[in-house]
Structure 1
Amino acid sequence: MALPDWDRAVIKVGSALVAPDKRGCSTTYLLPIARFIVESQRQGNEVILVSSGAVAAGLAAQGDGHPGSGLSIPEKQALAAIGQPLLMAHWRRLFDVPCAQVLLTYDDLRRRARFVNAKNTINELLDRGTLPIVNENDTVAVEELQVGDNDNLAAFVAVLAGADLLVICSDVDGLYDADPHESPDAERYPVVEAITDEVYDMVGGARRATATGGMRTKVEAAEKATDRGIGTVLVNGTKGEHLDALSRGEMPGTFFRPAEQPRSARKHWMVHALPTTGRIVVDEGAAQALRHQGASLLPAGIVDVEGPFARGDAVEVVVPDEGSDGPVRVAKGITQYGADDLKRIRGRQSHAIAEVLDDAPSDHVIHRDDLVLVDG
């Protein structure tokens, strides 16, 4: 198939391409990627680069005596601090246009004001004809503030930058029905129409499992991007001819088709960037009202409250399902009441909230504008 027309793309390059021998930065695979970026810019398109490799560059600068695995967080942070300028210098050698370093943490994505600031910075850099080179800020990011992998970081960057294409460079030719390294008969999917539970099962695990890297994080990234209407390409970055094909508008890998009805920017941010801090269990009547009537969540439909959370936090809304492994997700939203207050008003009519609580800011628990439906 032909690659759809695009104006602004994010291209993600992982450590395996930046430092294939794990001994520092190499141009082995980067020259064709740089050629694709330069050709895209020549055609009038804008490109943002998301690049891993800072820790690998830091390891190389420290010599062979330092282990490349089993590193503590402080060790990784120190190595990233050493390697990040080396990584930037390595990329700069491949381009004639100015390059700019943009370092992000998960905190920059989940806090709306910082999210918008990052968006404005990248837009200004592009307006100035500069190539933004983005990486996670590993020097300060502790576990709870980490995106954790640059596949998902690239998807977030594509969303905040308003890109219409995400290109994920991998070491395989696309998404297969089995691991092509282990199954010679594995077949590649040229197009994925929608990212379903079956797709997640195929790449190793349920949809809600914690990502561990590899193909799974690439599917997660594709889901984030396509949910916002951004087409996503998974391409083999070790094959220069595949990057050249992209420059010609051809599609050598797997194309994840964007959603026909993308989520709004705010609701996408709520689903994918806001961390969930607790859970509200509702009855079937409340679940149906949320799903089919566009209703707000009222205290009358709440049957249980799980986890500590405060007013303004994001929570899951679930309904019990005796025939499954656990409750079924209905929605995610921003609550107007903390967990302790909700336990006191659950099951009550809205007009009775003031009889129980001294501070009753709202007659609803989650307003429909602050609520987004999710798949179970």
Structure 2
Amino acid sequence: MSLISFRPEIPEVSTLVVKVGSRILSSDENSSAEKRVRSLIDAIAELKQSGIRTLLVSSGAIAYGMKALHLDKRPKSIPMKQACASIGQIRLMNMYEALFFEHDIPAGQVLLTWDDLRNKKRYLNLRNTFFHLLDCGAVPVVNENDSVGVDEIKFGENDTLAAQIAMLVHADVFVNLTDINGLYDKNPKTNSDARHIPVVDRITPEIFRYANGSGTEISVGGMITKLKAAETVTRAGICAIIGNGFNGNLFDVLKNQEAGTVFLPSPKIMPSKRCWIAFTGKKEGTLIIDDGAKRAVIEKGKSLLPAGIKRVAGVFKPGCMVDVCDEMNNVIARGLVNYSSIEISKIAGCKTTEIERILGQKTFDEIIHRDNMALI
């Protein structure tokens, strides 16, 4: 049990994931950036000393590579971005290794793409790697593998990656450090009357509207992506915090109400399998369903049967993941199909008793069983 006291909204913490962005790691004021990073590592060391297992998700590879190559502007071409990332990642890890070494803590580098999480076997292997690193007393330092990433396998920004890591290791708290004190009802940099929101019990469309005008980060991600990451982890039962790591430090965010916004976990926690289906797996196609099937899936928690399917989009095999949409193309669920796209097209709108006659065999009554489906 940790001896460090946090804000009362934060549950007892045994595992914590911290995400830090390029804005905090590298700014024009180099000495200030160095102080911020040292303060962050000192805080992680203190958390570890108190018994809290901590993982660090860090951006910054491209920014550090730009500095090494004396570039003033972020490259636009993918090959040049990848070159910067390759050079910068070494510098970034050398810095972390040196700072953690001062605390006699080993740092373990983990570079990922979407493919590492979307493949279930690799996903489970990755979880084992993280747990073994933590058991060895190391701090895993995670980043997107920008040197090989292309659009199809890139996370795009590390807010999404960090949320995925928090779910993967079953973290208790996910801290997303940025350059303002969490969420405001307006952009505090342009509105002096902006009101800070210390606690959010449920992320609603109104909460997202607060972030529309608050693009405050000079980075790939902004407040919208941070809210989406918070929404993802809270549905998995994880407490999320967006707080100021630019002018403050990690302990300010964990202890002081003014330094960050706490997003409380959902009272209805989504099981880990459904979290993977909803937020991690790769969509291979879409099923359009009628209103009756929509009510059965959402209100009654039923499996999706052939009779409720109107149309099929995409080409996929049994076991693939698909979106389930209503007739207005709103995504209502995601799940793993028991039949291929060709087979579903043939039995769409039919009763389950007709499947064998149409296909020549019936392996399942359901197109998607309720245990393999997650509501979105």
Alignment of 1:1-376 (within 5 A): 1-2=7-8, 3-21=10-28, 26-63=33-70, 66=71, 68-95=73-100, 96=103, 97-204=105-212, 213-240=221-248, 242-246=249-253, 249-251=255-257, 252-320=259-327, 326-358=328-360, 360-374=362-376
Matched letter for residue 336 of structure 1: N
Give the Å deviation of 1:244. 3.5
Matched letter for residue 79 of structure 1: C
In the comparison of the two structures, how many residue pairs are matched? 359
Matched letter for residue 252 of structure 2: A
Task: Say if 1:359 and 1:136 are closer, same or farther in 2 by CA, change over 3 A.
Answer: farther
SS of the residue 1:225 aligns to: helix
Matched letter for residue 281 of structure 1: I
| 1:79-130: CA deviation from partner (whole Å, max 9, x where unpaired) | 1111111100111222221111011111111111111111111111111111
Equivalent residue number for residue 4 of structure 2? none
Matched letter for residue 72 of structure 1: S
Give the Å deviation of 1:195. 1.0
The whole-number CA distance in structure 2 between the counterparts of 1:350 and 1:90 is 61
Residue segments in structure 1 that go unaligned for 5+ positions in a row:
206-211, 321-325
Give the TM-score of the pair, scaled to structure 1: 0.90
Give the Å deviation of 1:352. 1.3
Contact kept in structure 1, 2:83 and 2:147, CA below 8 Å? yes
The whole-number CA distance in structure 2 between the counterparts of 1:253 and 1:232 is 10
SS of the residue 1:12 aligns to: strand
Give the TM-score of the pair, scaled to structure 2: 0.90
The whole-number CA distance in structure 2 between the counterparts of 1:285 and 1:360 is 23
SS of the residue 1:143 aligns to: coil
The whole-number CA distance in structure 1 between the counterparts of 2:32 and 2:183 is 27
Task: Say if 1:99 and 1:156 are closer, same or farther in 2 by CA, change over 3 A.
Answer: same
Give the Å deviation of 1:275. 2.3
Contact kept in structure 2, 1:24 and 1:56, CA below 8 Å? no
The whole-number CA distance in structure 2 between the counterparts of 1:25 and 1:52 is 17
Task: Say if 1:4 and 1:349 are closer, same or farther in 2 by CA, change over 3 A.
Answer: closer
Give the Å deviation of 1:24. 11
Give the Å deviation of 1:361. 2.9
Matched letter for residue 117 of structure 1: N
Give the Å deviation of 1:177. 0.8
The whole-number CA distance in structure 2 between the counterparts of 1:108 and 1:253 is 31
Identity percentage of aligned residues? 38
Contact kept in structure 1, 2:75 and 2:81, CA below 8 Å? no
| 1:125-169: CA deviation from partner (whole Å, max 9, x where unpaired) | 111111111101111111110111111111111111121011111
Contact kept in structure 1, 2:356 and 2:362, CA below 8 Å? yes
RMSD of the alignment, in Å? 2.1
Task: Say if 1:225 and 1:52 are closer, same or farther in 2 by CA, change over 3 A.
Answer: same
Contact kept in structure 2, 1:299 and 1:346, CA below 8 Å? yes
Matched letter for residue 316 of structure 1: D
Contact kept in structure 1, 2:66 and 2:74, CA below 8 Å? no
